[in-house]
């Protein structure tokens, strides 16, 4: 029987992770769609596959995530929640992996709880555990690849998870390969390792990525987004593993105290109402609601700053606003019924004597004056 203290610690970790998943569900259902999510919808989710396959590969198209979003939206109709559902489920897998790895690597004491807290509370990590991008899903599969690898009895599942990690976001290709090489180097290369680990990893990634990457163009991978985010959990695991192996009471105590301070800092930076990387999009949904009420059922033409066009296209489809004319890449200085402007174009409202209906940080809604 486990001591009561370790039982309490395990329960506290479980309660934390369940609570965070509930917060992720709330965020997925309520937060405004972001620019990058809307671009994913506009370029790769809304068009049929036959139109997407011949396109040059774009690293921002997170293949596995895109395919799963298509399926989710097809089953449940388009909404913020259905659009983010695959990422949300990937986030649940990540939180579970954070618990399993912390338990395996750090035991059942306070260092285990520190691991769970540090792995799950980082604001940027939490953002990607519900936002409709492939990073959270890729990280979840990478973590499960490591968990199965350490288990030693499920090498096939480890390989499959690493292949899925790269398929969820190509940013995880190098981390997956690096982890695989480290694993093979730690063991004597044998037919068993190749058959049970290497082949499943390569085949899984190949099946999902071969067609998109066959249309890749040179120079498209020189500035891949999201790389800083990827290293946060592995670095956390590595640091705590060193502390665990040194096994000095003073060092362990100091690490646990520092983990508490870092956790408080993480919490101070976390905001439920918006995704940190896309603060400028936080008011998009409320702005759209104002536009819908004011325009009613009238046929209207909307001019928008280029960065906002995908967001409006998403909400046009989401609310089935067929009375909104399809947005076209026209100069925002043209003649429109309504204008949705980024801060850089906001001066147009005064210049054209527009009626400002709604203003949020980073975005403004105006209409042609009715005087």
Q: State the pLDDT at residue 59.
A: 78
Q: Token pair for residue 260?
A: 């508490």
Query: Would you give per-residue pLDDT tens digits along the chain (371 residues)?
Result: 456 668 899 999 999 999 999 999 999 999 999 999 999 999 999 998 888 777 777 878 899 999 999 999 999 999 999 999 999 999 999 999 999 999 999 998 899 999 999 999 999 999 999 999 999 999 999 999 999 999 988 889 999 999 999 999 988 988 999 998 888 887 766 677 777 888 898 889 888 888 777 666 655 554 454 567 788 999 999 999 998 888 788 888 898 999 999 999 999 999 898 998 899 999 999 999 999 999 999 999 999 999 999 999 999 999 999 999 998 878 888 889 999 999 889 889 889 889 999 999 889 999 988 76
Query: What is the rounded distance in angstroms from the CA atom of residue 303 to the CA atom of residue 298?
Result: 16
This prediction has a pTM of: 0.92
User: How remote is the C-alpha of 163 from its chain's centroid?
Assistant: 18
- In three-state form (DSSP H/G/I as H, E/B as E, the rest C), the secondary structure along the chain is CCCHHHHHHHHHHHHHHHHHHHHHHHHHHHCCCCHHHHHHHHHHHCCCHHHHCCCCCCCCCCHHHHHHHHHHHHHHCCCHHHHHHHHHHHHHHHHHHHHHHHHHHHCCCHHHHHHHHHHHHCHHHHHCCCCCCCHHHHHHHHHHHHHHHHHCCCHHHHHHHHHHHHHHCHHHHHHHHHHHHHHHHCCCCCHHHHHHHHHHHHHHHHHHHHHHHCCCCCCCCCCCCCHHHHCHHHHHHHHHHHHHHHCCHHHHHHHHHHHHHHHHHHHHHCCCCCCHHHHHHCCHHHHHHHHHHHHCCCCECEEECCCCHHHHHHHHHHCCCCCECCCCCCCCCCCCCEEEEEHHHCHHHHHCCCEEEEEECCEEEEECCCC
**HSE toward the beta carbon, residue 308, CA cutoff 13 A:** 28
Query: What is the rounded distance in angstroms from the CA atom of residue 263 to the CA atom of residue 208?
Result: 37
Q: State the pLDDT at residue 185.
A: 81
**HSE toward the beta carbon, residue 223, CA cutoff 13 A:** 0
The region that residue 364 occupies, defined by phi over 0 for left and psi between -120 and 50 for alpha, beta otherwise, is: beta
Residue 359, strand partner residues: 364
Letter string b/e over residues 321-342, b meaning 16 or more CB atoms within 10 A of that residue's CB? beebeebeeeebeeebbbbbbb
How many CB atoms are closer than 10 A to CB 199? 14
Q: Starting at the edge strand that comes first in sequence, how are the strands of the sheet with 338-342 ordered?
A: 302-304, 338-342, 363-367, 355-360
Helix 173-185 / helix 155-168 crossing angle, nearest 10 deg: 160
Counting every residue written for the chain, the total comes to: 371
Query: What is the rounded distance in angstroms from the CA atom of residue 148 to the CA atom of residue 358?
Result: 51
Tokens 């499959």, residue located:
160
Q: State the pLDDT at residue 4.
A: 60
Q: State the pLDDT at residue 334.
A: 84
Query: What is the rounded distance in angstroms from the CA atom of residue 240 to the CA atom of residue 256?
Result: 10
How many CB atoms are closer than 10 A to CB 146? 25
Sign of CA dihedral 295, 299, 304, 308: positive
């Amino acid at each position: 029987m486990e001591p009561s203290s370790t039982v309490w610690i395990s329960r506290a970790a479980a309660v934390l992770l369940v609570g965070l998943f509930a917060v992720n569900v709330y965020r997925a259902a309520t937060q405004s769609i972001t620019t990058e999510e809307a671009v994913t919808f506009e370029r790769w989710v809304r068009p049929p596959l036959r139109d997407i396959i011949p396109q040059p590969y774009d690293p921002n198209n997170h293949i596995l995530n895109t395919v799963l979003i298509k399926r989710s939206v097809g089953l449940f109709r388009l909404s913020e929640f259905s659009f983010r559902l695959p990422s949300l489920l990937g986030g649940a897998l990540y939180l579970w992996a954070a618990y399993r790895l912390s338990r395996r690597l750090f035991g059942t004491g306070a260092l285990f709880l520190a691991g769970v807290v540090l792995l799950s509370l980082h604001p940027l990590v939490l953002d990607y555990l519900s936002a409709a991008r492939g990073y959270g899903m890729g990280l979840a599969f990478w973590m499960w690849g490591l968990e199965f690898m350490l288990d030693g009895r499920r090498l096939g599942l480890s390989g499959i998870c690493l292949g899925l990690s790269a398929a969820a976001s190509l940013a995880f290709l190098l981390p997956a390969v690096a982890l695989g090489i480290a694993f093979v180097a730690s063991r004597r290369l044998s037919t068993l390792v190749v058959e049970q680990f290497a082949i499943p990893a390569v085949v899984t990634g190949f099946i999902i990525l071969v067609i998109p990457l066959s249309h890749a163009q040179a120079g498209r991978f020189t500035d891949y987004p999201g790389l800083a985010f990827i290293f946060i959990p592995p670095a956390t695991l590595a640091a705590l593993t060193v502390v665990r192996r040194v096994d000095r009471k003073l060092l362990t105590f100091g690490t646990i105290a520092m983990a508490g301070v870092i956790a408080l800092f993480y919490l101070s930076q976390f905001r439920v109402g918006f995704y940190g990387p896309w603060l400028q999009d936080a008011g998009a949904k409320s702005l759209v609601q104002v536009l819908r009420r004011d325009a009613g059922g009238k046929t209207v033409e909307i001019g928008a700053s280029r960065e906002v066009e995908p967001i409006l296209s998403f909400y046009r489809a989401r609310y089935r606003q067929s009375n909104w004319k399809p947005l076209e890449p026209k100069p925002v200085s043209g003649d429109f019924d309504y204008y949705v402007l980024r801060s850089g174009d906001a001066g147009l409202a005064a210049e054209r004597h527009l009626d400002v209906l709604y203003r949020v940080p980073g975005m403004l809604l105006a209409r042609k004056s009715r005087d």
